[in-house]
């Protein structure tokens, strides 16, 4: 429609609002930031300043006036900011523009070395050489690594192997095609996350240096890429994907940081056509917030004492789910085993429902992981029809996420609901969903069988929190994505107030762009 985003032209959105939104703005706002669109929030009258700050690219790009007649009073300040003029007027954009082009990058090239790329491998190497030639290679500048994969990945050189551009170019010339099959892209993505983007290999992620992955692929992966791609993004690694006509473009878009970072070409001999575009995107990546050493990894033995979550599992136990129930319990059990269950850490509750909800145990019933797991294993399918999901969600809000049942939402502890559902609800869910949102509950929904995808998304209210699987027998990919979202603080903390109300704080975690995450 006329946007010149791909040419590097700044994209700016000016939002004028006079009232709070009646729907959820968090997901779309994060998606705008993810696409590097600078949003400016201008509020008039009854507009919510906190909502405008959530929408704005930076809180400093938020303005508020009493009525429309007062808009001229912010004109000069706004124009100065957008024109990158007077430093004092650069309330929000200045800090962002200064670091728009980072002088340092850690770049890992992941090359498809399967049998299918044998004739194209020289062209593939030529593309990598062209990109490297545009970089400023040095120990304190750009660092480059190359990994090749097919069935298994192999590191040819790490980020800290070479500090001179000529050495990298020479190593690329001497690089031999690996060969092999099948093409396991998911395993390769996990490999580079765990072995290439780490301190010992020269990664400077702890200093906030942009972490960039460039994947060159010529075929569809034979393993699951969804969980590996999500883990990369949670670790603030920015993937770019380039595929030929035989690659699955939807798979590449799932892996890429956003769809515009996934490119399709006829063959690697035609790859030069996207060279400038890729380099332009890379150079515009800003410095990151460093990944702190103290960040928590679920299931680790050194979890911080301050990590607390209230997690409720809501299970569809209607007649339709009788054969799926044990697999559903297995999902819950594996989730619980990754959490740190304790009165002062993670608290767990489980509720079954069909026509009516039934609490198996509350958040303050069990204080050890083993007690929770034992009771999950002992649950029996209740059955019943119809499936009243709206009533169950409202019941959870009124009876489980409460202080008397062990909820700590008044103390700012994240409130998390995981709904496992296999059918379409027979009642209205909208009011219940809004009520849960009002107390700051983050909802994840996993649907299977006859669950309705639109309904799943409307309940979760976050595109990246809605999942659909063929059945509950193989849920490892979804489990990992939910773990990662919880682990990285994607769930909103709730600020306590003396009036018993709650406010959802901002979250800068990246959103995925698909509406429903489907596992093959």
Would residue 303 count as lying in a domain? no
**Residue whose C-alpha is closest to residue 373's, from 360, 388, 354, 356:** 360
DSSP assignment letter at 448: -
Question: Which of helix, strand or coil describes residue 204?
Answer: coil
CA–CA distance, 81 with 38 (Å, rounded to integer)? 11
Please state the rounded mean pLDDT for residues 262-273: 74
Could you tell me whether strands 503-504 and 494-495 are parallel, antiparallel, or unpaired per DSSP bridges?
antiparallel
Same domain, 394 and 491: yes
pLDDT of 195 > 50? The answer is yes
Residue pair 423/318 in contact by the 8 Å Cβ criterion:
yes
CA–CA distance, 465 with 478 (Å, rounded to integer)? 10
Last residue of a domain, one of 248, 283, 318: 283
Residue pair 159/108 in contact by the 8 Å Cβ criterion:
yes
DSSP assignment letter at 488: T
CA–CA distance, 350 with 343 (Å, rounded to integer)? 16
Two tokens at 55?
A: 């929408």
Would residue 292 count as lying in a domain? no
Would residue 296 count as lying in a domain? no
SS3 content of the chain, % helix, strand, coil (to 5): 40, 20, 40
Would residue 231 count as lying in a domain? yes
- Written in H, E and C, the secondary structure of 238-249 is EEEEEECCCCCH
CA–CA distance, 108 with 185 (Å, rounded to integer)? 15
pLDDT of residue 379: 95
pLDDT of residue 350: 97
Same domain, 172 and 55: no
Q: Which residues contact 498 (CB under 8 A, 6 or more apart)?
A: none
CA–CA distance, 183 with 457 (Å, rounded to integer)? 32
Domain at 15, CATH number: 3.40.50.410
Two tokens at 16?
A: 């004028």
Separation in Å, CA 188 to CA 174, 199, 269: 22, 19, 24
Question: Which of helix, strand or coil describes residue 119?
Answer: helix
Same domain, 323 and 472: yes
Same domain, 277 and 426: no
Residue pair 149/184 in contact by the 8 Å Cβ criterion:
yes
Q: Which residues contact 183 (CB under 8 A, 6 or more apart)?
A: 112, 114, 116, 149, 150, 151, 217, 219, 220, 221, 222
CA–CA distance, 432 with 434 (Å, rounded to integer)? 5
What's the domain count of the chain?
A: 3
Same domain, 213 and 88: no
Residue pair 159/203 in contact by the 8 Å Cβ criterion:
yes
Same domain, 265 and 350: no
Read off the pLDDT band of 309 (50, 70, 90): very high
Please state the rounded mean pLDDT for residues 314-341: 92
Number of other CB atoms surrounding residue 207 within 10 Å: 12
Same domain, 139 and 241: yes
Same domain, 91 and 111: no
CA–CA distance, 451 with 417 (Å, rounded to integer)? 17
Q: Which helix (H) or strand (E) holds 191?
A: helix 185-191
Last residue of a domain, one of 71, 98, 125: 98
CA–CA distance, 179 with 197 (Å, rounded to integer)? 24
Domain that holds residue 94: 5-98
Burial class (CB in 10 A: 0-12, 13-18, 19+), 288: middle
Please state the rounded mean pLDDT for residues 98-115: 77
Same domain, 314 and 272: no
Of 60-69, 169-178, 215-224, 326-335, the one with minimum mean pLDDT is 60-69
pLDDT of 291 > 60? The answer is no
pLDDT of 494 > 50? The answer is no
CA–CA distance, 335 with 357 (Å, rounded to integer)? 21
Number of other CB atoms surrounding residue 276 within 10 Å: 13
Question: Which of helix, strand or coil describes residue 412?
Answer: coil
pLDDT of 438 > 60? The answer is yes
Please state the rounded mean pLDDT for residues 325-349: 91
Could you tell me whether strands 153-157 and 143-149 are parallel, antiparallel, or unpaired per DSSP bridges?
antiparallel
Would residue 465 count as lying in a domain? yes
417-432: buried (b, 16+ CB within 10 Å) or exposed (e) per residue? bbbbbbbebeeebeeb
pLDDT of residue 55: 85
How much is the pTM? Answer: 0.44
Same domain, 47 and 168: no
- Which residues lie across from 213 on neighbouring strands? 108, 239
Residue with token string 């969600």: 393
Angle between helices 430-438 and 453-460 (to 10 degrees): 30
pLDDT of residue 508: 28
Same domain, 244 and 318: no
Last residue of a domain, one of 98, 132, 165: 98
The full length of the chain comes to: 520
Residue pair 269/124 in contact by the 8 Å Cβ criterion:
no
pLDDT of 381 > 80? The answer is yes
Most confident of 5-14, 30-39, 64-73, 164-173: 164-173
pLDDT of residue 514: 35
Number of other CB atoms surrounding residue 298 within 10 Å: 20
Read off the pLDDT band of 338 (50, 70, 90): confident
Residue with token string 């502890």: 413
Q: Who has greater pLDDT, 286 or 349?
A: 349
499: cis peptide before it, omega within 30°? Answer: no
Please state the rounded mean pLDDT for residues 159-171: 94
Question: Which of helix, strand or coil describes residue 148?
Answer: strand
Would residue 279 count as lying in a domain? yes
Would residue 294 count as lying in a domain? no
Please state the rounded mean pLDDT for residues 409-413: 84
Two tokens at 335?
A: 């989730």
Same domain, 369 and 438: yes
Two tokens at 184?
A: 């396991």
Q: Where are the alpha helices (DSSP H) in 339-475?
A: 369-377, 389-399, 430-438, 453-460
Q: Where are the alpha helices (DSSP H) in 20-163?
A: 26-34, 49-55, 75-82, 93-98, 121-133
Question: Which of helix, strand or coil describes residue 365?
Answer: coil
């Amino acid at each position: 429609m006329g946007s010149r985003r791909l040419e590097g032209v700044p994209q700016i959105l000016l939002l004028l609002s006079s009232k709070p939104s009646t729907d959820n703005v968090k997901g779309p706002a994060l998606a705008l930031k993810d696409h590097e669109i600078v949003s400016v929030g201008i509020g008039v009258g009854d507009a919510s300043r906190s909502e405008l700050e959530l929408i704005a690219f930076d809180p400093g790009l938020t303005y508020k006036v009493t009525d429309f007649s007062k808009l001229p009073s912010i004109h000069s300040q706004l124009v100065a900011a957008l024109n990158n003029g007077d430093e004092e007027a650069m309330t929000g954009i200045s800090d962002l523009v200064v670091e728009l082009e980072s002088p340092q990058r850690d770049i890992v090239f992941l090359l498809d070395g399967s049998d299918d790329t044998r004739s194209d491998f020289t062209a593939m190497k030529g593309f990598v050489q062209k990109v490297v030639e545009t970089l400023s290679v040095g120990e304190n500048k750009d660092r480059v690594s190359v990994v090749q994969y097919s069935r298994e990945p192999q590191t040819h050189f790490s980020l800290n192997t070479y500090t001179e551009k000529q050495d990298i170019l020479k190593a690329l010339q001497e690089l031999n095609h690996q060969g092999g099959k099948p093409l396991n892209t998911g395993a390769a993505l996990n490999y580079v996350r765990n072995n290439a983007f780490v301190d010992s290999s020269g990664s400077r992620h702890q200093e906030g240096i942009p972490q960039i992955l460039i994947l060159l692929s010529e075929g569809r992966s034979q393993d699951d890429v969804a969980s590996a791609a999500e883990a990369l993004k949670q670790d603030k690694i920015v993937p770019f994907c380039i595929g030929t006509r035989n690659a699955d473009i939807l798979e590449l878009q799932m892996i890429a940081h956003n769809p515009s970072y996934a490119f399709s070409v006829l063959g690697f001999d035609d790859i030069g056509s996207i060279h400038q575009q890729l380099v332009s995107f890379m150079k515009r990546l800003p410095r990151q917030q460093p990944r702190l050493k103290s960040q928590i990894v679920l299931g680790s033995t050194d979890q911080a004492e301050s990590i607390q979550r209230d997690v409720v599992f809501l299970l569809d136990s209607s007649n339709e789910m009788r054969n799926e129930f044990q697999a559903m319990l297995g999902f819950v059990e594996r989730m619980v085993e990754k959490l740190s269950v304790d009165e002062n850490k993670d608290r767990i509750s489980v509720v079954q429902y069909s026509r009516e909800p039934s609490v198996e145990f509350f958040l303050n019933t069990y204080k050890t992981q083993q007690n929770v797991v034992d009771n999950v294993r002992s649950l029996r399918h209740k059955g019943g029809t119809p499936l009243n999901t709206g009533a169950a969600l409202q019941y959870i809000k009124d009876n489980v996420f409460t202080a008397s049942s062990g909820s700590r939402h008044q103390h700012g502890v994240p409130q998390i609901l995981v709904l496992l559902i296999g059918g379409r609800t027979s009642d209205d869910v909208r009011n219940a969903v809004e009520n849960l949102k009002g107390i700051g509950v983050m909802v994840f929904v996993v649907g299977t069988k006859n669950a309705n995808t639109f309904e799943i998304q409307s309940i979760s209210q976050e595109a990246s929190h809605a999942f659909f699987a063929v059945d509950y027998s193989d849920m490892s990919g979804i489990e990992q994505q939910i773990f990662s979202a919880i682990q990285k603080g994607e769930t909103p903390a709730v600020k306590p107030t003396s009036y018993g109300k709650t406010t959802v704080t901002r979250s800068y975690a990246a959103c995925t762009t698909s509406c429903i995450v489907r596992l093959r």
